[in-house]
């Protein structure tokens, strides 16, 4: 030891202090052949072990190996038991947090094992012997047939996943989801493992969400109606003029027809031509009124096959007078052979009309360049159509581009900021999208896309 590099260790200091100069280290092997420890023999001087000493050392090694191995097994068992207890506690806590109980059941023998949470969910005494009848007594009378049907399926070895209601002892109603799977058979008896979950709060949240969505849909519908009325009111003067023209023609033609028939002899040919002009003007006025009534109507969305070019032309016809009075040149580039889309005609007309009116208003103060409005449709892919409206107005400010479709955002002096928001909502409800962008030159372009049905309907460009 005096010459060893171990002399400064704690063992070396002990040996030198006691005059021990020699250490013989012998490994202690476990029953599995692993080194379980070291048996150290300290002596005053180096000497081989005698037969008696070797026998004692061997016995000591054997006893030590057994003791070490047993201690390690006991420690491992304690650790496993602790882990099992912790896992069990975690399982109980998790079941309580998620309101989920577990069970194992041999339905045919009515042999069941229930978790603590199972008892709590059904409001049953933990000392009660588990049985199907105990659960059945809690089932809501209106759900007993469903419960019994699922039990019969269980007898046949079929898995289960169903929702039923229970009534607890305090009279409260709870919604329960039962889920069971066959894990193995004992003889011909299927053994199930499964869960029961109290989903009452989830159902209440879903009901509240559904009611909220219904209220939101109703509010959106009311807001859309207000937007539609406001949009149409902007065309009142133009439409009144549009209707007054054919009415004036009808009156003039009717008077002329009376005079021609009062001649002696009556001028039948001229009276007939005058009557035809009267019919023409009547049809014209009727068509304008029909469009106006449709736009003002509060009917529920009616989905049908629609020709995008056709409804674009109808909107153009409604707003033509307004554009003429404001010296706006309209150019329509409607692509031929467009397949139809599925949608609500009135709602899509509202979107297009809102886009047209926005373009007209954007050019209200434009004096230094022509006021030009371009309405364009296109088939951009096999199943996507687009409609865009470009103006030569003031354009879109850089900081406003992302806000154009936000509710109540507006750049107009008297605007409410709901037109584009409602329009985007309508387009998205039709499975499409809507966007805005500044033109390379003056003005801006508003556009939307819709999925097509794949079969062309329009065979002529306008």
Does 452 reside within a domain? yes
Residues 187 and 256 in one domain: no
For 336-357, what is each residue's pLDDT tens digit? 888 999 988 878 888 888 888 8
For residue 16, give its domain range.
10-87
Does 225 reside within a domain? no
| H or E segment and range at residue 256 | helix 236-262
Does 2 reside within a domain? no
**Radius of gyration from C-alpha coordinates of the chain:** 45
Residues 247 and 323 in one domain: no
Residues 375 and 444 in one domain: yes
- What is the average pLDDT score of the chain? 81
- How far is the C-alpha of 184 from the C-alpha of 181, rounded, in Å? 9
Q: Which pLDDT score, from 0 to 100, does residue 455 have?
A: 57
Q: How confident is the model at residue 291 (pLDDT cuts 50, 70, 90)?
A: low
- How far is the C-alpha of 300 from the C-alpha of 33, rounded, in Å? 84
For 14-69, what is each residue's pLDDT tens digit? 888 888 888 888 898 887 778 888 888 888 888 888 899 889 988 998 888 888 88
- How far is the C-alpha of 379 from the C-alpha of 336, rounded, in Å? 9
Query: Are 332 and 312 within 8 A, CB to CB?
Result: yes
What is the DSSP secondary-structure string of 263-325? SSS--HHHHHHHHHHHHHHHHHHHHHHHHHHHHH--PPP-EEEE-HHHHHHHHHHHHHHHHHH
Residues 83 and 103 in one domain: no
pLDDT, mean of residues 283-297: 62
For 227-270, what is each residue's pLDDT tens digit? 556 555 555 555 555 566 567 667 777 888 888 888 888 888 88
Residue 210 has which token pair? 């559904």
For 172-193, what is each residue's pLDDT tens digit? 999 999 999 998 888 888 899 9
- How far is the C-alpha of 281 from the C-alpha of 121, rounded, in Å? 76
Q: What is the share, in percent, of the chain residues with pLDDT greater than 70?
A: 82
Q: Is the pLDDT of residue 159 over 60?
A: yes
The torsion angles phi and psi of 184, rounded to 5 degrees, stand at -165, 175
Residues 372 and 249 in one domain: no
pLDDT, mean of residues 404-412: 58
- How far is the C-alpha of 417 from the C-alpha of 405, rounded, in Å? 8
251, 268, 298 - which closes a domain? 298
447 or 255, higher pLDDT: 447
Helices (H), 99-235: 116-121, 132-136, 144-155, 200-233
Residues 308 and 448 in one domain: yes
Secondary structure of 62-98 as H, E, C letters: HHHHHHHHHHHHHHHHHHHHHHHHHHHHHHHHHHHHH
- How far is the C-alpha of 79 from the C-alpha of 153, rounded, in Å? 43
Total count of domains within the chain: 4
Query: Are 352 and 315 within 8 A, CB to CB?
Result: yes
Q: Is the pLDDT of residue 287 over 70?
A: no
Q: Which pLDDT score, from 0 to 100, does residue 263 have?
A: 83
Among 445, 397, 446, which residue's Cα sits nearest to residue 421? Answer: 446
Q: How confident is the model at residue 299 (pLDDT cuts 50, 70, 90)?
A: low
Helices (H) and strands (E) in the chain, counts: 11, 14
For 81-125, what is each residue's pLDDT tens digit? 888 777 777 877 887 888 899 999 998 889 999 999 999 999 999
57, 87, 117 - which closes a domain? 87
Residues 146 and 181 in one domain: yes
Q: Is the pLDDT of residue 319 over 90?
A: no
Q: Is the pLDDT of residue 162 over 50?
A: yes
| Strands 384-390 and 100-106, sheet pairing | unpaired
Q: Which pLDDT score, from 0 to 100, does residue 399 have?
A: 67
Does 28 reside within a domain? yes
171, 198, 225 - which closes a domain? 198
Q: What is the share, in percent, of the chain residues with pLDDT greater than 90?
A: 23
225 or 20, higher pLDDT: 20
Q: Which pLDDT score, from 0 to 100, does residue 423 have?
A: 83
Question: For residue 352, how far is the Cα from the chain centroid?
Answer: 28
Residues 455 and 325 in one domain: yes
Residue 126, classified by CB atoms within 10 Å of its CB into exposed (0-12), middle (13-18) or buried (19+), is exposed
Q: How confident is the model at residue 461 (pLDDT cuts 50, 70, 90)?
A: very low
For 368-388, what is each residue's pLDDT tens digit? 788 899 999 999 888 899 999
Does 228 reside within a domain? no
CA distances to 41, 70, 174, 176 from 56, rounded to whole Å, are 12, 21, 73, 70
Residues 343 and 395 in one domain: yes
């Amino acid at each position: 030891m005096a010459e060893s590099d171990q002399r400064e260790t704690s063992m070396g200091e002990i040996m030198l202090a006691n005059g021990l100069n020699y250490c013989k280290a012998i490994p202690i092997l476990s029953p599995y052949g692993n080194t379980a420890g070291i048996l150290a023999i300290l002596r005053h001087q180096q000497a081989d072990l005698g037969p008696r000493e070797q026998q004692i050392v061997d016995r000591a090694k054997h006893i030590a190996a057994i003791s070490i191995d047993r201690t390690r097994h006991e420690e491992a068992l304690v650790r496993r038991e602790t882990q099992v207890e912790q896992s069990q506690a975690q399982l109980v806590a998790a079941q309580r947090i998620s309101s989920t109980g577990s069970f194992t059941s041999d339905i045919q023998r009515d042999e069941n094992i229930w978790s603590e949470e199972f008892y709590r969910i059904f409001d049953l005494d933990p000392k009660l012997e588990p049985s199907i009848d105990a659960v059945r007594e809690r089932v809501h009378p209106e759900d007993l047939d469903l419960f019994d049907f699922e039990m019969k399926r269980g007898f046949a070895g079929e898995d289960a996943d169903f929702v039923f209601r229970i009534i607890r002892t305090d009279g409260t109603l709870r919604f329960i989801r039962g889920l069971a799977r066959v894990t193995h058979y004992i003889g011909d008896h299927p053994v199930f493992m499964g869960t029961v979950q109290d989903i009452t709060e989830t159902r209440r949240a879903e009901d509240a969400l559904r009611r909220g969505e219904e209220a939101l849909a109703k509010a959106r519908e009311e807001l859309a109606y207000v937007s539609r009325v406001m949009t149409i009111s902007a065309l009142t003067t133009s439409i009144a003029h549009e209707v007054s023209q054919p009415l004036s023609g009808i009156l003039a033609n009717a008077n002329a027809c009376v005079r021609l028939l009062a001649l002696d002899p009556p001028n039948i040919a001229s009276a007939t031509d005058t009557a035809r002009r009267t019919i023409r003007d009547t049809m014209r006025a009727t068509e304008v009124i029909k469009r106006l009534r449709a736009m003002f109507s509060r009917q529920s969305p009616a989905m049908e096959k629609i020709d995008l070019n056709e409804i674009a032309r109808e909107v153009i016809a409604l707003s033509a007078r307004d554009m003429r009075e404001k010296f706006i040149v309209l150019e329509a580039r409607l692509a031929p052979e467009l397949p139809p889309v599925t949608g609500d005609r009135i709602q899509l007309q509202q979107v297009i009309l809102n886009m047209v009116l926005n373009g007209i208003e954007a050019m209200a103060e434009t004096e230094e360049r022509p006021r030009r409005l371009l309405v364009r449709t296109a088939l951009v892919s096999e199943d996507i159509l687009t409609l865009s409206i470009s103006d030569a107005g003031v354009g879109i400010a850089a900081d406003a581009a992302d806000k154009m479709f936000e509710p109540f955002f507006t750049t107009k002096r008297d605007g409410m900021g709901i037109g584009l928001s409602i329009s985007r909502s309508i387009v998205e409800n039709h499975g499409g999208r809507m966007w805005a962008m500044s033109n390379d030159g003056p003005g801006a372009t508003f556009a939307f896309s819709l999925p097509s049905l794949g079969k062309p309907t329009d065979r002529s460009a306008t």
